[in-house]
Structure 1
Amino acid sequence: MKIAIDGMGGDHAPKEILEGVFQAVEDFQDIEFLVYGDEAKMAPYLKSHNRVKVIHCAEVIEGTDEPVRAVRRKKDASMVKMAHAVADGEADACVSAGNTGALMAAGLFVVHRIDGIDRPALSTTLPTLDGAGFDMLDLGANADAKPENLLQYAIMGSIYAKKVRGIEKPTVGLLNIGTEEKKGNDLTKHAFTLLKECEDIHFIGNVEARELLNHVADVVVTDGFTGNMVLKTIEGVAGNMFSMLKDAFMSSTKTKLAAVMMKNNLKEIKTKMDYTEYGGAALFGLKAPVVKAHGSSNAKAFYSAIRQTHLMVEHEVCETIDSTISKEN
């Protein structure tokens, strides 16, 4: 398979991006990489390898660029050229740690939606206390949603959980303010009925935000506004929790000694709560895998996004979504 890479996207590009790519080259013998970016800037971090091809691009989409305008005007940007490689059949999938809005725009306008998908959804695997994780969508591709969109999110999330994460019968929960069937607003009430009637998913009902990290469901669906708020809340709480722990352990000689003794345990907890360990955020509903690595990705995090993309291509996630949605329609 061939995977296109935005070599210039992300806070630590191109160094960390290329280090992640070359690690993946060693671990996955069936991947060829097409790396798009400024050759001069990437040169210090490039290695000669017959499965890595570099394509020079004169432009870069910056984090401050307006997404749609940038994709339409910066025709020679690494992210845009990467997306065109997928659309033209030169690559099977693409990965970028760059501007999230621009990547979504490139996915929509260049790679294109699967027929029957009204609105693609952004999803990632978030941590749970048992280490298993859960997939949540939408995380911000669309601020608003209709009940039919949430049904499609549930179908796509279930397919991903089964094929990529190996869950035989993934459970699906609808994020709500209570577990009772009649709880919520018009969106969740109507979505509940659609989800309950769908035979392609294992719907378990409404789930509350406070139970998410307890692995209450394998897939959780909601509108993009709510999903993005939940994602950033989890990020903020996890980050601040570790800051508070660090301050507490550094407060005295006694606590510093305790920190030394608990060093490995604390690292284990931090790793478990770091969702970048699970890979990137996939834009579900497109004709090919488009994966967004975290903007601050180091080599390990970008490698995880590549591993996730490899699994999506290998297990034909987009093709299965296509055939399932066609059946529903």
Structure 2
Amino acid sequence: MRIGLDVMGGDFAPKAAVLGAIETFKALPSDQHLVLIGDSNQVKAICEEVGFDANNFELVHTEDVIGMGEHPTKAIVKKPNSSIAVGFGLLKEGKIDAFSSAGNTGAMLVGSMFTVKAIPGVIRPCMPTMVPKLTGGVGVILDVGANADCKPDVLLQFGVLGKLFAENIYNVENPKVGLMNIGEEEEKGNLLSLATYPLMKDTELFNFIGNVEGRDLFNDKADVIVCDGFTGNIVLKLAESFYVLTRKKGMKDEFFDRFNYEQYGGSPILGVNAPVVIGHGISSPEAIKNMLLLSRDLITSGLIDKIKQAFQ
């Protein structure tokens, strides 16, 4: 197994990425290898600084970097030797089994769609994230930012993708799938949710339990919550703020500690032909480590093949 990492992506790159890779290396068995893509001279310097042998990694040298503020499509085309573009090239050629980056989110989405491409049958790939439950378990919400505008059939597919993600990554048996809405009643909601509800109600693709509200996010009513990426991203950013707010108020709480973005590392792009994970722009070494471990789990679970089977 070979897990690729863009070491030039993120606000604190390359140092945070390299330090995170070092910690990941210590946690991986000998048959799981890390491929670091970026400025190899900087990688070697950081490794030397902390007394770590850079030869433990496979280094792929690149000199171009896609900045966080660059236009995704233009940057991918104009910078074919950037760490993100080279990483997707390696993924397409099968030279790495997964690729992750805390860099330009748009470039990662564009690279996924135009390099490894969407799985046949998937209308719109999406991004899920983990949601901590008050009872101690976890749930999934999707989409959290890849698709600001969606149609009913797209949300129906998100239900399938979320079900498979919850089953194979978080080991949730027959996950309950809910549709995010402003009320539980079938007749509530905007045009999108009103049109989506009957599709989900009639499907046998997953265990649909009806509409759920924002207050149900952290209880056990649903294991998978489906929404468009505009709504999901707002919910995600609000949830991430809980951890910061409790720290600023001097509070120490086990539940709110689970909202620390470092613990889940990143969000995969579900619905493309290879494991791709996007990390938070402010990723710390701990977040990078967990992003790489999530990449590993996507490979070992065989999730991509299971999604392909579901959409045949």
TM-score, with normalisation over the residues of structure 1? 0.89
Counterpart amino acid of 1:307?
L
Q: Which runs of 5+ in 2 are unaligned?
A: none
How far is 1:271 from its partner? Answer: 2.3
1:42-57 superposed matches below 5 A: 42-46=43-47, 47-48=52-53, 52-57=57-62
Aligned pair 1:305/2:291, yes or no? Answer: yes
Structure number with greater Rg is: 1
The answer on whether the counterparts of 1:4 and 1:94 sit within 8 Å (CA) in structure 2 is yes
Cα gap change, 1:136/1:159 in structure 2, threshold over 3 Å: closer, same or farther? Answer: same
Percent of aligned positions that are identical: 36
The answer on whether the counterparts of 1:4 and 1:82 sit within 8 Å (CA) in structure 2 is yes
Deviations 1:39-98 (A, max 9, x none): 222222234366521011010111111111111111111111111111111111111011
Q: Which residue of 2 aligns with 1:159?
A: 164
For structure 1, which segment, 132-141 or 282-291, has the greater mean C-alpha deviation from structure 2 after superposition? 132-141
Q: Which residue of 1 aligns with 2:244?
A: 239
The answer on whether the counterparts of 2:262 and 2:284 sit within 8 Å (CA) in structure 1 is no
Give the paired residue count.
307
Q: Which residue of 1 aligns with 2:263?
A: 277
How far is 1:3 from its partner? Answer: 1.1
Deviations 1:157-194 (A, max 9, x none): 11111111111111111000001112112211221112
The answer on whether the counterparts of 2:239 and 2:259 sit within 8 Å (CA) in structure 1 is no
Cα gap change, 1:132/1:225 in structure 2, threshold over 3 Å: closer, same or farther? Answer: same
Please report the RMSD computed on the Cα atoms of aligned residues, expressed in angstroms. Answer: 1.7
Q: Which residue of 2 aligns with 1:251?
A: none
Q: Which residue of 1 aligns with 2:141?
A: 136
1:226 corresponds, among 224, 231, 237, to 231
Counterpart amino acid of 2:301?
H
Secondary structure of the residue aligned to 2:269 is: strand
Aligned pair 1:66/2:71, yes or no? Answer: yes
Secondary structure of the residue aligned to 1:213 is: coil
CA distance in 2, matches of 1:216, 1:13: 39
1:11-26 superposed matches below 5 A: 11-26=11-26
1:87 corresponds, among 79, 87, 92, to 92
CA distance in 1, matches of 2:255, 2:188: 34
Counterpart amino acid of 1:320?
K
Higher helix share: 1
The answer on whether the counterparts of 1:175 and 1:220 sit within 8 Å (CA) in structure 2 is yes
Q: Which runs of 5+ in 1 are unaligned?
A: 247-258, 260-265
1:286 corresponds, among 254, 265, 272, to 272
How far is 1:200 from its partner? Answer: 2.5
Q: Which residue of 2 aligns with 1:5?
A: 5
